Structure 1
Amino acid sequence: MEQKPWLKLYPEEIPFELSYGNTPLPAFLKEAAEQFPDLTSIHFMGKELKFKEVYHSALKFAAYLKQLGLQKGDRVAIMLPNCPQSVITFFGTMLAGGVVVPTNPLYMDRELEYQMKDSGAKVIVTMDILYPRTARVMPNTKLEHIIVTAIKDFLPFPKNLIYPFIQKKQYGITVQVEHHGHNHLLKEILKGTVPEEIELSIDFENDLAVLQYTGGTTGFPKGVMLTHKNLVANAKMCAAWLYKARKGKESVLGIIPFFHVYGMTTVMFLSIMQGNKMILLPKFDAETALKTIQKQRPTLFPGAPTIYIGLLNHPELTKYDLSSIDACISGSAPLPVEIQQRFEEVTGGKLVEGYGLTETSPVTHSNFVWDRPRVKGSIGVPWPDTDAAIISAETGEPLPPKEIGEIGIKGPQVMKGYWNRPDDSEQAFRNGWFLTGDIGYMDEEGYFYVVDRKKDMIIAGGFNIYPREIEEVLYEHSDVQELVVAGIPDPYRGETVKAYIVLKEGAAVTEEELNQFARKHLAAYKVPRIYEFRNELPKTAVGKILRRVLVDEEKRKFDERKEA
């Protein structure tokens, strides 16, 4: 208790330690189908699926993957927004013994090709409008099969007839794919395949469930190896933390995408394990979300600060009844205190800040939702079975309270390592502690605080953005001599991406031209929002560009504007 002072703060309902058993993730869907067969598992734009329907569809998908020759441990990429297909194919892949590679639907060719090559995925599940992009990268990867679905496939009548026209108006394309050769239609698979019960042969502690990509400032994204135990442990920790939530009685608003480990764990896995209804939205639109909350009455709402800010800033917020919301844990980026207070006033529920990383499945800390006061500016205390400490850069040992160092984590949710990167895996740990790259301190009670990021990663609107990836794209422009990309303060997105550019002599490229160039190679959320042209960039004596100097300049300007 002395080494974990936060345990003294736990309400009696939260145990210090949990039992994780030996049940792999897909077995929880089978349990839910047996325990809650006729309860709604998924609500999607008016369509509802029961737990038994989701399970039978997942079994059909698993059987089809096995027919395609999928072996245990083979990777299956899932490039979908939040929709019933994402849940079905996720669990179907695991039932077949495969490893899921969650893939952002916003990825452009370069990003998609890199992830497919690095993961060695054999199969990808994607949307019809994303098929051309997937087909273009396929020859340069190990992909053997493309499984295609469409939003309309799981819409009720008459929405399923109307949606293709809306989609064409929105995206300007209509894609027709035949169920033939290496192209497969999920609708045909679920119609024609017979579900078969599968005997799972999964090593709970060691077998991978998910290969989740994250990045850093030293190169392209790395595959984080998350085992069944990692993900089950974190979902069970979440259930323990939300101790007032009733099994089989809650509804969870699923806006946080499942290709992000936070949405995957706190919405998809937790809902399946607890018999909760998932209310899924394929993208965040404030008005749609407000209407959905009023009509569907969700009780739990994991989110990111930008989502809560977007709702609070909607001009007709007061028209909507949000009183069904009991609890929200905010992740992905720091949560402003004023947003927390306003959201609680509007909903009458609780909104608390949590903390975690892709490498920790993801949550390690949170403020208490009920029965304890929140601590301003704190990320909270470690979850059950989670040990945390402030690690000295000099000794690698834990520091006493109020001393600043790097946050280190131990616990069953900590990753197995980085995919095919043994050196990076080894460097991520010191004396058994996973080093988060975040600098902070712990107070005497056991509350943790983040004061800075060791890494230069940008968190904009809940997305992790890695400057070097953007820099490498912009450096390909023939007019660019030198540049650096940094995250600067933004009142809505938390941070926004800014590029500082030094042009070659005589060059006259405009901000708009650079922007168009970047959009050809990067997902929209990575494209710089601001470009600043400079004659030179600040550097060290050996020529290293001082990104931090530029960031500090922007922070000073931001603070001055706030004070004014």
Structure 2
Amino acid sequence: VAIGHPAICNFVRVAAEVYGITGEDRVYQGMTLAFDFSVEETWVPWMAGATLVPRPAGPGLLGAELDAFLRERRVTALCCVPTLLATLDESGSALRFLLVSGESCPQDLISRWHRPGRRFLNVYGPTEATVTATWTLLDPDRPVTIGVPLPTYAVVLLDPRENAALPPGAMGEIGIAGIGLASGYLNRPDLTDRAFVPDFLGVPGNPSGRIYRTGDLGRINPRGEIEHHGRIDT
């Protein structure tokens, strides 16, 4: 996936404004840089003036080993997949910021980790939309959604079979528009043309002039938040 500088610079800027990481935070950096999710725990914190705390060389940490490392290094912010968060002990944790992505976040995990004073985010986005396109604050008293678009992004619900928009409440294919769209698939114009379609809706603030068809099913609920309902092809 080829992503231009304007797209990644835009994402880092808007994510730093929205997420709530501060210059006082110490952010765990544990992902390989080959994983686009690593941008969440490196460039976004740097944009906010936070300190990065890289994991030690060797295999990745989880469970009791990661718990001990986070406490010893006074880490206050963690970005990870829900599966990793589930291995940690929430009791007495000093983490004031959590961000999960890459998998569905179970309701019981939210209940375990939610507490006053802790900012707990769920974010969603394919690589083709430059790391992350939507975000929400997680609350154990509300159903899990993928939230609303980040500033400069737009989400539309499309008919999976044709270029037509669906009304709020209808189940359809999640489409993403905005400056954050990738240029396409390197040396694969056939795949690029299939996934990145011309913006037939005239989405406001969409300098790319395209909509990315994610292949994910979703709907917009009465609160205006996007529900994710898995892949179209499964």
**Normalised by the shorter chain, which TM-score bucket?**
0.7 to 0.9
Uncovered stretches (5+) of structure 1, i.e. residues with no partner: 1-223, 457-564
Q: C-alpha displacement at 1:300, in angstroms?
A: 1.7
Is residue 305 from structure 1 mapped to residue 75 from structure 2 by the alignment? Answer: no
Q: Which of the numbers 12, 20, 24 marks the counterpart of 1:235?
A: 12
Deviation at 1:294? 1.3
Does structure 1 residue 273 correspond to structure 2 residue 47? Answer: yes
1:451 maps to amino acid: H
Among 120, 126, 134, which residue is 1:365 paired with? 134
CA apart distance, 1:241? 1.1
| Aligned counterpart, 2:211 | 433
CA distance in structure 2 between the partners assigned to 1:374 and 1:392 by the alignment: 31
Deviations 1:524-556 (A, max 9, x none): xxxxxxxxxxxxxxxxxxxxxxxxxxxxxxxxx
Paired residue type of 1:427: R
Provide the C-alpha distance between the structure 1 equivalents of 2:135 and 2:141, rounded to a whole number of angstroms.
10
Matches within 5 A, 1:77-476: 224-243=1-20, 245-246=21-22, 248-263=23-38, 265-281=39-55, 282=57, 283-312=60-89, 318=91, 321-323=92-94, 325-345=95-115, 349-368=118-137, 375-430=142-197, 431=199, 432-455=210-233
| Deviation >6 Å, runs of 4+ | none
Q: Is the 8 A contact 2:153 2:177 kept in 1?
A: yes
Q: What are the Cα deviations for residues 176-199 of structure 1, in whole angstroms up to 9, with x where unaligned?
A: xxxxxxxxxxxxxxxxxxxxxxxx
Q: Provide the rounded CA distance (Å) in 2 between the counterparts of 1:375 and 1:237.
A: 25
Inter-CA distance 374–436: structure 2 relative to 1 (3 Å threshold): farther
CA contact (8 A) 2:16 2:44 kept: yes
For the Cα contact (< 8 Å) 1:262–1:361, is it kept in 2?
Answer: no
What is the identity, as a one-letter code, of the residue corresponding to 2:51?
A: K
Deviations 1:437-459, CA, capped at 9 Å, x for gaps:
10111123320011120245xxx
Indicate conservation of the 8 Å contact 1:340/1:352, yes or no: no
Q: Residue 331 of structure 1 aligns to which amino acid in structure 2? A: S
Contact 1:329 1:352 in 2 (8 A): yes
- State the one-letter code of the partner of 2:228: V
TM-score (norm 1): 0.37
- More relative contact order, 1 or 2 (CA 8 Å, 6+ apart): 2
Q: Could you tell me how far 1:393 is from its partner in structure 2?
A: 2.5
1:243-282 C-alpha deviation (Å, 9 max, x unpaired): 4x33x3221112233221011x111211332222111125
Structure 1 counterpart of 2:34, which letter? F
1:482-521 equivalent positions in 2, closer than 5 A: none
Matched residues in 2 for 1:374 and 1:395: separation? 37
Query: Which residue identity lines up with residue 361 of structure 1 in the other structure?
Result: T
Q: SS at 2:123's partner residue?
A: strand
Q: Deviations over 1:397-453 (max 9, x none)?
A: 221111011000002221010010011011012332100110111123320011120
Indicate conservation of the 8 Å contact 1:353/1:379, yes or no: yes
> Could you tell me how far apart the structure 2 residues matched to 1:389 and 1:373 are?
27
**1:252–1:299 CA contact under 8 A, matched in 2:** yes
1:472-526 deviation digits (Å, cap 9, x = unpaired): xxxxxxxxxxxxxxxxxxxxxxxxxxxxxxxxxxxxxxxxxxxxxxxxxxxxxxx
Q: Residue 228 of structure 1 aligns to which amino acid in structure 2? A: H
CA shift at 1:348, angstroms?
Answer: 5.7
Matches within 5 A, 1:69-80: none
Per the normalisation by structure 2, the TM-score is 0.86
Q: Distance in 1 between matches of 2:162 and 2:134?
A: 24
More helix by share: 1
**CA contact under 8 A between 1:231 and 1:413: conserved in structure 2?**
yes
AA at the equivalent of 2:97: A
Name the CA distance, whole Å, in 2 between partners of 1:384 and 1:394.
Answer: 28
Q: CA RMSD in A?
A: 2.2
Conserved in 2, the CA contact under 8 Å of 1:226 and 1:416?
Answer: yes
Residue 436 of structure 1 aligns with an amino acid whose one-letter code is T
Larger radius of gyration: 1
Aligned residues: 220
User: Which whole-Å CA distance do the structure 2 matches of 1:426 and 1:359 have between them?
Assistant: 13
**AA matched with 1:444:** P
Q: Contact (CA 8 Å) 1:393, 1:405: kept in 2 or not?
A: yes
